[in-house]
Chain A
C-alpha cells in the first residue's frame, strides 16, 4: 500500500542538539510538507517542497531546515536555534503543489529533555 512513513514515532533529544526527522513517501507525489502540531494551535506549516531540489519556508520556519534531494524523501532537521522544539511533527504530501488534498503520515513526537 502506498503511503507516508515517518520515523521514529517518538524521539528524545538533549537540549542544544540538532535532530533530524525522517519522512518517506511511495505515492510518487511531487509535493511534500512539514507541519508542527501544538495543543490549541492546530497545524502550522514549517516548510514545503513542490519539486525535488526546491523548497520554501512556511509560516514558522525559524530554527528548522529541510532538504529535498530525492522525490520520495523530505527530512526535517530541528536545530538548536528552535526555541521550543517539543511538539508533534506531521509530514504530508500531495500529487502536485497545486493539488489537494494532502495525505498525512502518522507523525513524530519530539521531546527535548
Chain B
C-alpha cells in the first residue's frame, strides 16, 4: 500500500533561518503530491501541489518544494522563515481517489 512519511515531527527555528521539511512517498504510478499547512486555530490550506512538469514547485507565502523521483521525495523549503510560519505542515499524496497524509510536522518559529 502506498504511504507518505514525514520524519521531522517537531522543528524549532529562529526567524530568518532556512527551512526544509522532509516528505517521502512509497508508491509508483502517477505521482500527485501536496503540501498543506494548518495555522493555529485555522483550517487546512493548500501550500503547493505537484502533478507533472517542472519538479520545482512554487507555492504561496514563499514556500517551494522539489519532487525528486530517484529519492521518492517531495521536501518543502523556505529560505527565510517568519514567526507567522508557525503551524503544522502536512505532506500528502493522491492515488485511487484518496489523499494519503503524512503524520505532520509541527514548526515553531521564535522571533
Residues in chain A within 8 A of chain B (CB atoms)? 4, 31, 33, 35, 40-45, 48, 50, 58, 90, 92, 97-98, 100-102, 104-107
Query: Secondary structure of the B side of the interface?
Result: strand
Number of A-B contacts defined by CB within 8 Å: 50
Chain A's closest residue to B92 (CB) is: A43
Chain B's closest residue to A50 (CB) is: B97
Query: Apart from A100-B49, A104-B43, A107-B43, what are 19 other A-B pairs with CB-CB below 8 Å?
Result: A4-B43, A31-B97, A33-B99, A35-B101, A40-B104, A42-B104, A43-B92, A43-B99, A43-B104, A44-B101, A45-B100, A48-B98, A50-B97, A98-B97, A100-B34, A101-B34, A101-B36, A104-B44, A106-B42
Q: Which 3 A-B pairs have the closest CB atoms?
A: A104-B44, A42-B103, A43-B101
Cα–Cα, bound, A70→B92 (Å):
28
Q: How large is the interface on B (under 10, 10 to 19, 20 to 34, 35 or more residues)?
A: 20 to 34
Does any Cβ of A come within 8 Å of B32's Cβ? yes
Q: Which residues of B contact A97 (CB under 8 A)?
A: 97
Query: Secondary structure of the A side of the interface?
Result: strand
- Max chain B CB contacts within 10 Å: which of A31, A50, A102? A102
